[in-house]
């Protein structure tokens, strides 16, 4: 313990220094030390790499007039954009309002809000929410859903268990410091017999050369002896974990698809068990 304390302190000071800029002075550590997840090697690596993610989003917000911004992020600002099919087909039609949690939402949730058969109530959380809200405010952008500070690894501390009809994440849980913990927490905050939906890039860590927050590979492979297709997760120094089997007692994998080219995307859906 005596050896660890100086290392953690240096890491925190380093991250704070990296996050300071003439335009925006913000640190993920400032004012939130009591709300941070547990310390550890993976978390230290995450802290040391967030600057690249912050710079990416600062650059994206500067490009509001670009075709890329209008094609993607413009839709996120459109209240008439229809709810995505992957979410719509898992909506609970027995209630008038579906509560959806977006985990790792970024500055603008990617969940559309137009639904013909129920009201959609979105809660968006992200560890960098304070930073995102500041850059949006400076750019004069009012998000339809403002991101709240929140960690995928600590959702039950923030929301308790079983409050959401759907828990969703797009291109985010593989950017976390503990993806397995994120999925576990996403299941816990989902109502029984309801759904966790996640979209991640296939082998995102390898494709990005393990740079920035890209520290994990999700991939689909067949398992022995039945040759069933399962979802796996691995890191550079961690052996592959069979995600499908790991959560089998609490959630059933109802969808596991790999689509797209040249960058392939994995969509997986888990139904939380009632028992």
- Residues 119 and 63: their CA atoms lie apart, in Å, by 32
| Stated pTM of the model | 0.84
- Residues 174 and 206: their CA atoms lie apart, in Å, by 12
Please provide the DSSP assignment of 88-128 as one string: HTT--TTSSEEEEEEET--SS-----B-SSSEEEEEEEETT
- Residues 116 and 134: their CA atoms lie apart, in Å, by 33
CA distances from 206 to 133, 174, 211, 234, 235 (A): 30, 12, 9, 10, 9
Please count the other Cβ atoms lying within 10 Å of the Cβ belonging to residue 135.
20
pLDDT given at position 167: 98
Q: Which domains does the chain have, with CATH numbers?
A: 49-272 (3.40.50.150)
Please count the other Cβ atoms lying within 10 Å of the Cβ belonging to residue 216.
25
Q: What are phi and psi of 78, to 5 degrees?
A: -90, 110
Altogether, the residues listed in the chain come to a count of: 275
pLDDT given at position 135: 94
pLDDT given at position 216: 93
pLDDT in tens, the chain (275 residues): 444 444 333 333 333 332 333 333 333 333 333 333 444 567 777 888 889 889 988 888 887 777 777 777 778 888 889 999 999 999 999 999 999 999 999 999 999 999 998 999 999 999 999 999 999 999 999 999 999 999 999 999 999 999 999 999 999 999 999 999 999 999 999 999 999 999 999 999 999 998 889 989 999 999 877 789 999 999 887 788 999 999 999 999 999 999 998 889 999 999 999 98
Strands (E), 110-250: 119-126, 148-149, 164-170, 190-201, 217-223, 228-235, 238-242
Task: Note the pLDDT tens digit of each residue in 134-167.
Answer: 999 999 999 999 999 999 999 999 999 999 999 9
Q: Return the bridge partners of 235, or none.
A: 238
- Residues 122 and 196: their CA atoms lie apart, in Å, by 14
Are 104 and 169 a contacting pair, CB within 8 Å? yes
Residue found by looking up tokens 């100086």 in the block? 6
Spatial strand order of the sheet with 265-272 comes to 148-149, 119-126, 97-103, 164-170, 190-201, 265-272, 251-259
């Amino acid at each position: 313990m005596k050896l660890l304390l100086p290392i953690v302190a240096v890491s925190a000071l380093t991250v704070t220094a990296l996050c300071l800029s003439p335009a925006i002075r913000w640190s993920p550590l400032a004012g939130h030390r009591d709300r941070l997840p547990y310390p550890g090697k993976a978390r230290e690596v995450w802290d040391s790499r967030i600057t690249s993610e912050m710079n990416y989003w600062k650059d994206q917000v500067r490009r509001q007039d670009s075709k890329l911004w209008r094609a993607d992020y413009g839709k996120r600002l459109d209240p008439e954009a229809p709810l995505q099919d992957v979410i719509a087909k898992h909506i609970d039609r027995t209630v008038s309002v579906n509560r959806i949690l977006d985990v790792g939402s970024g500055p603008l949730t990617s969940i559309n809000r137009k639904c013909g058969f129920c009201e959609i109530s979105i809660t968006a959380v992200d560890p960098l929410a304070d930073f995102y809200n500041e850059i949006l405010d400076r750019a004069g952008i009012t998000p339809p859903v403002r991101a709240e500070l929140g960690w995928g690894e600590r959702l039950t501390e923030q929301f308790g268990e079983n409050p959401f009809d759907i828990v969703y994440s797009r291109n985010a849980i593989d950017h976390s410091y503990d993806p397995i913990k994120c999925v576990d927490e996403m299941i816990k905050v989902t109502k029984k017999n309801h759904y966790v939906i996640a979209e991640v890039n296939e082998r995102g860590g390898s494709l990005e050369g393990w740079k920035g927050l890209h520290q994990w590979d999700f991939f689909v492979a067949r398992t022995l002896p039945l040759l069933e297709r399962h979802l796996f997760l691995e890191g550079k120094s961690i052996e592959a974990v069979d995600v499908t089997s790991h959560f089998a007692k609490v959630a059933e994998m109802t969808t596991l698809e790999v689509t797209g080219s040249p960058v392939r995307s994995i969509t997986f859906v888990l139904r939380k068990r009632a028992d």
